[in-house]
């Protein structure tokens, strides 16, 4: 290698191209498996949990009860974000990412072996809620670690693109989770799937423990954290979570407000539509699952493409484009879904997933740039996970809206209102520092 080549590959923070790529791929793997674990619960809630854990309820009440346990995980996510964010800013991004992966692996595997209501009575739904909270707690801490591992080691001018690897874990995890359910429900007889086949996706999450060991042994701590750690040693000792709440409450609220439309719409288009398509439209489980899988495959292309675009034109501009398009598309999307025809449902969901991904891709870099390194894990996690409570309620709210109004257009209005809130928040968002040359504007 020539001297010029060596200089070209040397960065002031000491991160090599190989380390940056490894960090991005690790973020992708960690997020994919973590979200796989989190999403298979929602799929199982829509398909089988009502009869296994809430058998005495009516069909609608059973589904609402199952979705309520889904929401329990979302309530736990901000708590995980607070705790993991605090220690992620104090002892390191890598250590907390390892802890989140291990916790999720254990919690999800236990769901795969737990007894049903018919076996242990009311203790079964209680245990289900506890394990769902463990899942929520883990994913609440995981996202900040994976996102910062990717963005804080990214090459100059590519933070949006590298941060998108953590975001890609959502569609990859969802495709993997729904794919496993699709295979299991297609290969097994209906009686076998409802009896024990639904457990298989949960048992496969044992691989999380192996990934946690890999991250612990192979991943380097980020240079931004090392610099913040040195700075902290020479200053007063403060709690990162309390510090970011005290000094940047507006940034946390703006981050949450901008993310509401992404989080809620996503769960409407995944968990909510799965229930709506099978129960209200009379479509088969495999048909609706296939439509959801195809729509999420589109995200794998759109997320990195528009994240890279945000490195050129700015995070807020890219995000605003997605908000306008999704808020507008919400109405034709449900008109297409309501036809009950597979091609029309696919078209509606692919459009929704595409416009949602325009926002979700650059969101990692946008949130990272809103907070200084000393409190970044805490601030970004709070901004992301506070919204999770509303997102977790979205499928249940969708059921209620349609039951009350007798039309899916009420859900379209809900999405459009959230898109307007996102645009308002984007107008007021500013990056935390001009010293990091990334286009947050």
DSSP state of 143: H
Q: 154 Cβ partners below 8 Å, 6+ apart?
A: 20, 24, 161, 162, 163
Q: What is the pTM of this model?
A: 0.84
The CATH number of the domain where 186 resides is what? 1.20.1250.20
Q: Which of 179-183, 217-221, 331-335, 355-359 has the lowest mean pLDDT?
A: 217-221
Q: Is residue 246 part of a domain?
A: yes
Q: Which of 272-281, 342-351, 385-394 has the lowest mean pLDDT?
A: 385-394
Which pair of structure tokens corresponds to residue 392?
């977790």
Long-range contacts of 396-405 (CB under 8 A, 24+ apart): 396/64, 396/67, 396/68, 396/70, 396/71, 398/268, 398/272, 398/276, 399/60, 399/63, 399/64, 399/67, 399/272, 399/275, 399/276, 402/276, 402/280, 403/60
In the block, which residue shows the tokens 């200084």?
372
Q: Is residue 13 part of a domain?
A: no
State the Cα–Cα distance between residues 250 and 430, nearest whole angstrom.
10
Q: How many domains does the chain have?
A: 1
Q: Is residue 62 part of a domain?
A: yes
DSSP state of 199: G
State the Cα–Cα distance between residues 334 and 253, nearest whole angstrom.
30
Q: Considering the chain, what is the average pLDDT of its residues?
A: 85
CB atoms within 10 A of CB 105: 22
State the Cα–Cα distance between residues 82 and 279, nearest whole angstrom.
37
Q: Is residue 122 part of a domain?
A: yes
- Give CA 392 to chain center in angstroms: 11
- The string of DSSP codes covering 103-120 is HHHHHHHHHHH---HHHH
Greater pLDDT, 93 or 47: 93
Is the pLDDT reported for residue 268 higher than 50?
A: yes
Instruction: Evaluate whether 372 touches 432 at the Cβ level (below 8 Å).
Output: yes
Which pair of structure tokens corresponds to residue 312?
């050129």
For the stretch 94-122, pLDDT in tens is 888 888 888 888 889 999 988 887 888 88
Q: Which pLDDT does position 43 carry in this prediction?
A: 78
Instruction: Evaluate whether 365 touches 432 at the Cβ level (below 8 Å).
Output: no
For the stretch 386-438, pLDDT in tens is 887 787 788 888 989 998 998 999 999 999 999 999 999 999 887 755 434 34
Q: Which pLDDT does position 437 carry in this prediction?
A: 39
Instruction: Evaluate whether 2 touches 138 at the Cβ level (below 8 Å).
Output: no
The C-alpha angle with vertex 36 and arms to 285 and 81, in degrees rounded to 5, equals 130
pLDDT bracket for residue 12 (50, 70, 90): low
Tell me the C-alpha to C-alpha distance, in Å, between residue 361 and each of 109, 155, 262, 275.
29, 17, 11, 27
Q: 193 Cβ partners below 8 Å, 6+ apart?
A: 48, 184, 185
Instruction: State which residues form the domain around 288.
Output: 19-222+239-428
In the block, which residue shows the tokens 């949960």?
202
Length of the chain: 441
Which pair of structure tokens corresponds to residue 78?
């901000």
Longest dimension (CA), the chain: 74
Mean pLDDT in residue range 50-72: 71
Q: Which SS3 state, helix, strand or coil, does residue 434 take?
A: coil
pLDDT bracket for residue 58 (50, 70, 90): low
Q: Which of 45-54, 209-218, 279-288, 310-319 has the highest mean pLDDT?
A: 310-319
Which pair of structure tokens corresponds to residue 393?
């309620």
Q: Is residue 10 part of a domain?
A: no
pLDDT bracket for residue 223 (50, 70, 90): confident
Tell me the C-alpha to C-alpha distance, in Å, between residue 157 and each of 26, 68, 164.
20, 42, 13
Q: Is residue 61 part of a domain?
A: yes
Q: Is residue 12 part of a domain?
A: no
Mean pLDDT in residue range 252-258: 94
Mean pLDDT in residue range 253-268: 93
Q: Is residue 111 part of a domain?
A: yes
Is the pLDDT reported for residue 4 higher than 60?
A: no
DSSP state of 180: H
């Amino acid at each position: 290698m020539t001297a010029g080549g060596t200089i070209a590959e040397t960065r002031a923070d000491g991160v090599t191209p190989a380390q940056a790529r490894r960090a991005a791929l690790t973020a992708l793997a960690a997020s994919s498996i973590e979200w796989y674990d989190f999403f298979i619960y929602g799929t199982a809630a829509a398909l089988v949990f009502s009869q296994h854990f809430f058998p005495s309820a009516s069909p609608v009440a059973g589904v609402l009860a199952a979705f309520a346990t889904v929401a329990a995980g979302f309530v736990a996510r901000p708590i995980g974000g607070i705790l993991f964010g605090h220690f992620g800013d104090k002892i390191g991004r890598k250590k907390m990412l390892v802890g989140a992966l291990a916790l999720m692996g254990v919690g999800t595997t236990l769901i795969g072996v737990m007894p049903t209501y018919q076996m242990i009575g009311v203790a079964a739904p209680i245990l289900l809620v506890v394990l769902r909270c463990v899942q929520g707690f883990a994913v609440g801490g995981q996202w900040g670690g994976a996102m910062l591992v990717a963005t804080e080691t990214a090459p100059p001018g590519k933070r949006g693109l590298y941060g998108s690897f953590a975001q890609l874990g959502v569609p990859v995890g969802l495709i993997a989770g729904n794919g496993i359910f699709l295979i299991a429900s297609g290969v097994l007889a209906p009686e076998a799937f409802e009896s024990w086949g639904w457990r298989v996706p949960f048992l496969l999450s044992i691989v999380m423990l192996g990934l946690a060991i890999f991250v612990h042994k192979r991943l380097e701590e980020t240079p931004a954290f090392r610099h913040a750690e040195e700075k902290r040693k020479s200053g007063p000792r403060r709690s990162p979570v309390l510090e970011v709440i005290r000094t940047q409450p507006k940034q946390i609220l703006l981050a949450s407000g901008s993310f509401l439309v992404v989080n809620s719409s996503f769960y409407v288009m995944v968990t909510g539509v799965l229930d709506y398509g099978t129960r209200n439209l009379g479509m088969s489980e495999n048909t609706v699952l296939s439509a959801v899988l195809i729509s999420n495959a589109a995200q794998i292309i759109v997320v990195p493409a528009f994240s890279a675009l945000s490195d050129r034109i700015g995070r807020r501009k890219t995000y605003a484009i997605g908000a306008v398009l999704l808020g507008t598309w919400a109405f034709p999307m449900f008109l297409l879904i309501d036809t009950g025809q597979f091609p029309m449902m696919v078209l509606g969901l692919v459009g929704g997933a595409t416009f949602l991904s325009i926002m979700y891709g650059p969101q990692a870099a946008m949130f990272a740039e809103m907070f200084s390194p000393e409190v970044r894990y805490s601030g970004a996690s709070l901004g992301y996970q506070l919204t999770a409570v509303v997102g977790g309620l979205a499928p249940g709210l969708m059921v209620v809206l349609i039951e009350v109004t007798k039309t899916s257009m009420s859900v379209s209005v809900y999405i459009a209102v959230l898109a307007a809130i996102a645009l308002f928040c984007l107008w007021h968002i500013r990056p935390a520092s001009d010293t990091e040359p990334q286009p947050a504007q």
